C-alpha cells in the first residue's frame, strides 16, 4: 500500500514514516499543501493522511482539492484538536476517518487500514 502523509509537523511525519515502513507499506511525506498535491499526482496513493490544520492552506480546503483530483482516494484527517465541527465537515467532504494525535496505532492497523482498497499500479 502507498500512503501519502501531509502535515507541517516534521516529528509527526517522521513517526508516520517509521510506523508505515515497519508495516511494510510505502510512505511518501509532504510538509505543505503544494508538495502534497504534487505527490498525489506523481505517486497516486491508496491512503492520504492529511492534517486538518496546515499553515498556508486549510486542510479541509486541501481535502476538497484532493477529491476534485481523485474522488476515489481514501483520505483520513489527522488533528491534535477535538473540533467536532471541522471533523464533521471533513466527513462531508469525503474523509473516511479522523485520527487524533497522539495516534492510536491499534486503531490505524485494525480499523483504518482494512478499509483501504489498494490500487493497481
Residue 84 included in any domain = yes
Indicate the DSSP class of residue 93. Answer: T
pTM (2 d.p.) = 0.91
Residue 40 included in any domain = yes
| Number of domains present in the structure of the chain | 1
Query: Cβ atoms within 10 A of the Cβ of 38, count?
Result: 12
Determine phi and psi for 87, rounding to 5 degrees. -65, -45
Least confident of 63-67, 86-90, 110-114, 115-119: 115-119
* pLDDT of 86 above 80: yes
Residue 99 included in any domain = yes
Domain ranges, residue 22: 2-115
Residue 64 included in any domain = yes
The grid coordinates listed for 1 are 500500500
Residue 121 included in any domain = no
Mean of the per-residue pLDDT values of the chain: 92
Q: What is the CATH number of the domain that holds 90?
A: 3.40.50.2300
Where does the pLDDT of residue 117 fall: very low under 50, low under 70, confident under 90, or very high at 90 and above? confident
The grid coordinates listed for 110 are 485494525
Query: Cβ atoms within 10 A of the Cβ of 29, count?
Result: 20
Residue 27 included in any domain = yes
* pLDDT of 118 above 90: no
pLDDT tens digit string along 2-56? 999 999 999 999 999 999 999 999 999 999 999 999 999 999 999 999 999 888 8
Query: Cβ atoms within 10 A of the Cβ of 1, count?
Result: 17
Residue 120 included in any domain = no
Distance, CA of 44 to CA of 18 (rounded, Å):
20
Amino acid at each position: 500500500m502507498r500512503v501519502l502523509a501531509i502535515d507541517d509537523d516534521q516529528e509527526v511525519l517522521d513517526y508516520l514514516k517509521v510506523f508505515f515502513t515497519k508495516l511494510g507499506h510505502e510512505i511518501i511525506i509532504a510538509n505543505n499543501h503544494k508538495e502534497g498535491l504534487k505527490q498525489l499526482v506523481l505517486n497516486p496513493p491508496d491512503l492520504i493522511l492529511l492534517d486538518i490544520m496546515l499553515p498556508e492552506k486549510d486542510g479541509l480546503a486541501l481535502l476538497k482539492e484532493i477529491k476534485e483530483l481523485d474522488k476515489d482516494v481514501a483520505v483520513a484527517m489527522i488533528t491534535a484538536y477535538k473540533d467536532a465541527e471541522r471533523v464533521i465537515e471533513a466527513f462531508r467532504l469525503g474523509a473516511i476517518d479522523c485520527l487524533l494525535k497522539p495516534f492510536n496505532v491499534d486503531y490505524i492497523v485494525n480499523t483504518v487500514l482494512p478499509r483501504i482498497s489498494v490500487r493497481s499500479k
